[in-house]
Structure 1
Amino acid sequence: MKKISIFLAGIAFLLLAACGSSDSNGSDDNAAGGASKLEELQENGTVTVGFANEAPYAYEEDGELKGAAVDIATAVFAELGVDNVESQLADFSQLIPGVQAGQFDVVTAGMAIQPGRCENALFGEPEMQYGEGLVVQAGNPHGIESYKDIADNPDITVVVMEGATEIGFLESEGVDPNQITTAPDIASTFSAVQSGRADATTGTEMTVRMAFDSFDSDAIELVESFEQPDIEGVPSYGAAAFSLNNEELRDAYNEKLAELKENGTVEELLEANGFSAESNSVPTDGVTTEQVCSGEAF
């Protein structure tokens, strides 16, 4: 009886070991006996990217995926031998949980690198940098030209896209959390200001400016005199984000990204999407992801 018990215990141990050696989505670079995520993508020739429908970073138009972050990622993966790019739309706040859960292989949303986010995702090197923008009701009745102006008037409400860095920026400038509401996307934040449900909305400058141009409403206006906040995280540095399991994939991506920066491809793609190659690009010898994740860049 004792020998049978030992035998059964050994079988149970082997089964547990086998279960523990495989990743839930098959994407762990260190999965025993299996192909790495990079090899898997190269073999299949397809990468799935997660995005949040935010122009000009990553968005759908007439069924086509567009945007600076998408174009850069597409160029990098082509260099890695992965030519087909598929996409999956998600709320911005669900992008990092989504890539960790294996719903997509990489986040291409121009997502700002932040120390807190670095704990939950592997960021590639910076692909772009950008500041903030502000939209208010027509005539700017509250005279809002900075985040501090919002903080100084507790009657002002500001709506921000869920999961966006601007929530933290506003609070850093003294805005009471009770003054801040959220909406699932940029269009919804603009609608809230247009209808009077909020006094202002904020987001990255390029997103706000492009959304304002396309929204085409006399009920709102873009604050051209907006004062950029002097806080940690501004300017923001946008990059691709990967699962914590996929370090090899992230490193391979960085290697090709550096080559595309050096030959001018990244600057060309930024300009093609309305960015400035001079003010929005990040050179290979500029700020690094390690510096941003550690807080040294600010």
Structure 2
Amino acid sequence: MKKLLLTLVFLLTVVVLAACGGSDEEAGGESGDSGDNADAEESESSSEAGGKLAELQESGTVTVGFANEEPYGYQGDDGELKGAAVDIAKAVFEELGVENMDSQLQDYSQLIPGLNAGQYDVITSGMAITPDRCENAIFAEPEMVYGEGLVVQAGNPLGIESYEDIANNPDIRVSVMSGATEVGYLETTGVSDDQVTTAPDIPATFSAVQSDRADVTTATEMTLRLAMETSDESQLEFVENFEQPDIEGVPSWGAPAFHPDNEDLRDAYNEALQGLKEDGTVEELLEANGFDPESNSVAAGEVTAESVCSGENY
């Protein structure tokens, strides 16, 4: 009887130990799998949390779309990307640990579509913030403020001194850079669509006036003044007594724009930009590109992108 009891106890002990051993092995396997899955999920989450800025910092390069409009963003004779907006963006991204800029020239009207198609990380050509543009891109805080200007045929034979003058004479022909805010300004002032033709860049609008395919071209004042420095003044004339239009959007607040999904990058840009405004770097870069640091710069917090997008400061 005792032997039978001892045998039963022994067998029960073996079964219990075997069961415990099996549970430990299975638990260990499950625990290991859970740990691997957790690590993978955590890694994926960290990658997502890093966002676009982390991606650019890792690669060391930011892809920038720009239009050929001096002095904001343009391609120099050496093929390099230049201009006030470009220099400011470069300084900001260096602050963020992104040293290299891969610059890509594009027609102005294709900058935002290209941004949203993923061709660029940022677009910067002193682009004016407008409520319409804010529906398709997110803007950094304004870096500069500027007004409008006119260039006409030498001698200003039609006496054009304002957008209203153009609207009041249906025979006046205007050449404007495609995608520029001036297209909307002219329309708002009453200029008819059949008076306006578009061109890919400022040299092309100047060429239209010189060849008598247009009577006048309009763009920002700084753009036209600088373009006049390398133009034939026997054929063209900058309108010094131009009357700034009293319409929404003038003056314009210029800033770079980002894809709507890249708020982290835009927010980091704003933070670095504020520091460069406060230490005077932005004013220095504007002045180096021909701007007046007093009249063309925007102090930190003076005007926000949100207030312009909402129409409050537009």
Q: Same fold (TM over 0.5)?
A: yes
After the TM superposition, which parts of structure 1 deviate over 3 Å for at least 4 consecutive aligned residues?
A: 30-35
Q: Contact 2:65/2:123 (CA < 8 Å) preserved in 1?
A: yes
Q: Which amino acid is the alignment partner of residue 124 of structure 1?
A: A
Shift of 1:125: 0.2
C-alpha separation in 2, matches of 1:100 and 1:39: 19
What do residues 185-219 of structure 1 show as CA deviations (whole Å, max 9, x unaligned)?
Answer: 10000000000000000001100111111123411
Are 2:214 and 1:198 aligned? yes
C-alpha separation in 1, matches of 2:68 and 2:167: 29
RMSD between aligned alpha carbons? 1.3
Residue in structure 2 matching 1:159, options 146, 161, 175? 175
Residue in structure 1 matching 2:153, options 117, 123, 137? 137
C-alpha separation in 2, matches of 1:178 and 1:31: 54
Higher mean displacement: 40-49 or 207-216: 207-216
Partner of 2:28: none
C-alpha separation in 2, matches of 1:218 and 1:121: 41
Q: Which amino acid is the alignment partner of residue 36 of structure 1?
A: G
C-alpha separation in 1, matches of 2:232 and 2:253: 29
Partner of 1:22: none
Partner of 1:60: 75
C-alpha separation in 1, matches of 2:201 and 2:176: 8
Q: Contact 2:151/2:238 (CA < 8 Å) preserved in 1?
A: yes
Partner of 2:122: 106
Q: Find the residue that maps to 2:218 and give its secondary structure.
A: strand
Unaligned 5+ runs, structure 1: 1-29
Partner of 1:239: 255
How many positions carry a matched residue from both structures? 269
Partner of 2:90: 74
Q: Which amino acid is the alignment partner of residue 234 of structure 1?
A: V
Partner of 1:207: 223
Q: Which amino acid is the alignment partner of residue 228 of structure 2?
A: F
C-alpha separation in 1, matches of 2:136 and 2:46: 20
Are 2:94 and 1:42 aligned? no
Q: Contact 2:176/2:217 (CA < 8 Å) preserved in 1?
A: yes
Q: Find the residue that maps to 2:245 and give its secondary structure.
A: coil
Q: Find the residue that maps to 1:248 and give its secondary structure.
A: helix
C-alpha separation in 2, matches of 1:278 and 1:150: 31
Shift of 1:35: 4.6
C-alpha separation in 2, matches of 1:112 and 1:149: 24
C-alpha separation in 1, matches of 2:135 and 2:280: 31
Unaligned 5+ runs, structure 2: 1-44
Q: Find the residue that maps to 2:294 and give its secondary structure.
A: helix
Structure richer in helix, relative to its length: 2
Percent identical = 70
What do residues 95-138 of structure 1 show as CA deviations (whole Å, max 9, x unaligned)?
Answer: 00111111111001110000000000010000000000100011
C-alpha separation in 2, matches of 1:180 and 1:171: 9
C-alpha separation in 2, matches of 1:219 and 1:106: 37
C-alpha separation in 2, matches of 1:230 and 1:31: 50
**TM-score under structure 1 normalisation?**
0.88
Q: Which amino acid is the alignment partner of residue 267 of structure 2?
A: D
Higher alpha-carbon Rg: 2
